[in-house]
Structure 1
Amino acid sequence: MLRQWNPSLALADGSRYLFAVPVPDKSVSSHAPLSNRLRRFLYVTAAFNGAAILVVEILGAKMLSPYFGTSHFVWTAQIAVTLVSLAVGYWFGGRLADRAPDLRHLYRCMLLAALYLALTVPLVKTVSFAALKLNLATGSIVAALFLFFVPLTLLAVTGPFLSRVLIRTTTESGGVVGRISAVSTFGSVGGTLLIAYVLIPLLPNSVTMLVTSGLLAVLSCGYLFSLKSIPKSGPVAVLIILIPVMVVGARKGDGGAMPGFREIAR
């Protein structure tokens, strides 16, 4: 606690005196200390979400390519939507963390992102054909916005939110933000290499998206269900919706392959 001199209090004769009143030290975080185990889990979350963002960015273009082709319009649309989503997610995550730095909000965002990503598999064909009524450049942007803006924005909440939660004092803020950024970026590198050299060559696009969605759901539910005396109805409701969506998506087939065509290269 700091002490602040307040000269506003007056004696009966009109003279003034100085009075020390305690005020909170804003250089120290007010929320409860985190265990080492939880801190490690939060860094794992940062790495995994960084990987998921790049997986969705690259896989999204692959899912759109059967309908819009692989021209620069498609990749420009997907990259632009990803960058806009990150910007909005960073802003929203910072605001949310300042107003209510409760980790439940972060993992609920991740769970909603998982649900939305699972929905992209059965919806990509319908959305793409609807967007094709526009010209190629506009249609690819509209499809990318509809399919990937919301989940990418929800995943981008992670960085600023974790920085707010992990910073204990102002003197360590730079180090915490740097570590979060580094871990998230290394996760993005890992996600890029994984999808380019393993997932795309070996798995259908729909399976890769559903696996990404499932892992996000497992990570978020792992935290939410570990909390005691907290209602679990919200996460359970999302899972009840998510599981049938994943089943339908898996049965519907590859979310990036045209029926009747044989794929010879990925």
Structure 2
Amino acid sequence: MTARTTNALLLCLYAFLLGFSLMSFEMLGSRYLYPYFGGGLNTWAVLISVVLIALMVGYFVGGMIADAHPDQRVLGAIIATSGLYMLAIPLISDKVILFALDVAGDGPVGAFLATVLLLAFPLTALSVFSPFSVRLLITAHTDAGRISGLVYAVSTAGNILGVLVTSFWLIPTMGSRAITYGMGAVTLATALAIMAVRLREAAPRPVPVTSRA
């Protein structure tokens, strides 16, 4: 197996696991908000908006950090902060939401503030992975489209499974806090693997040179 193939398989595995954790955590967010803000359209609109904002910021910042520091140890450290934050959520969620209620009330603004405080940081850190991993995998300009498509496709597959498994199996059988601890542990373990398992050095593919007439 070539170094390029090994690297791609490793990063695709990480992309799948982190994609699963990301959407699982979004579904868990709705359960944390429900006792205080309900499960209506306003709550879901706020939740989806915050998730999209986190993805937007994470993709943009992740791309910049990857260009400045294309080191998988940097990527692993960023992902680790997300896992640690998730592990703290069951311990602080009630206090965070009560703080948001005191500051902004129980309407959409309060729900938005609570969602930002609970979800924005870990989801932003998780979304750094995709652009960063593309940067680590690309060895020639001819690879860019194929590699970015592969990483985002595998990550999205993890997203889909995260929504379905969490909604239809994990939440009914385990409860939100236990699942949050599990997702935090998976995220932290993935981060440690990213830092510990070094990608193999791959020779860049030659870029074809077109002859001039």
| TM value normalised by structure 2 | 0.87
Corresponding residue number in structure 2 for 1:174: 145
State the partner residue of 1:204.
175
CA distance in 1 between partners of 2:21 and 2:132 (Å): 17
Matched with 1:91 is 60
Paired with 2:17 and 2:109, the residues of 1 have a C-alpha distance of: 32
Query: Which residue is 1:70 aligned to?
Result: 39
Structure 1 residues 9-48: aligned runs within 5 Å: 34=3, 36-48=5-17
Contact 1:64 1:124 in 2 (8 A): no
Higher relative CO (CA 8 A, sep ≥ 6), structure 1 or 2?
A: 2
1:113 aligns to 2:82 (yes or no): yes
Q: Hey, what does 2:204 align to over in structure 1? A: none
Counterpart of 1:152 in 2: which secondary structure?
Answer: helix
For 1:130-149, what per-residue CA distance to the aligned partner results, in whole angstroms no more than 9, with x for missing partners?
A: 21222321111000001111
Which structure's CA Rg is the greater one?
A: 1
**What amino acid maps onto 1:113 in structure 2?**
S
Residue of structure 2 equivalent to 1:194 = 165
Q: Which amino acid in structure 2 is aligned with residue 61 of structure 1?
A: S
Indicate the SS of the match to 1:168: coil
Superposed counterparts of 1:145-184, under 5 Å: 145-184=116-155
Question: What is the match of residue 101 of structure 1?
Answer: 70
Unaligned runs of 5+ in 1: 1-32, 228-266
Tell me which stretches of 4 or more aligned residues in structure 1 moved more than 2 Å.
Answer: 33-39, 222-227
Q: TM-score, normalised by structure 1?
A: 0.70
Q: Is the 8 A contact 2:58 2:125 kept in 1?
A: yes
- 2:91 aligned with 1:122, yes or no? yes
- The Cα of 1:226 is off from its aligned counterpart by 4.2
Question: What letter matches 1:158 in structure 2?
Answer: F
The C-alpha deviation readout for 1:206-259, integer Å capped at 9, x for no partner, is 0000000001111111232446xxxxxxxxxxxxxxxxxxxxxxxxxxxxxxxx
Higher share in helix: 2
CA RMSD of aligned residues (A): 1.4
CA distance in 1, matches of 2:76, 2:162: 20
CA distance in 1, matches of 2:18, 2:193: 15
State how many pairs are aligned: 195
Structure 2 unmatched ranges of 5 or more: 199-213
Amino acid at match of 2:135: R
Residue 48 of structure 2 corresponds to 79
Shift, 1:39, TM fit: 2.7
- On the 8 A contact 2:21/2:162 being kept in 1, the answer is yes
In structure 2, what is the Cα distance between the partners aligned to 1:221 and 1:41?
13
Partners of 1:171 and 1:35 lie apart in 2 by 14
Which secondary structure does the structure 1 equivalent of 2:121 belong to? Answer: helix
Distance 1:154 1:202 in 2: 28
Partner of 1:219: 190
Letter in 1 for 2:66: A
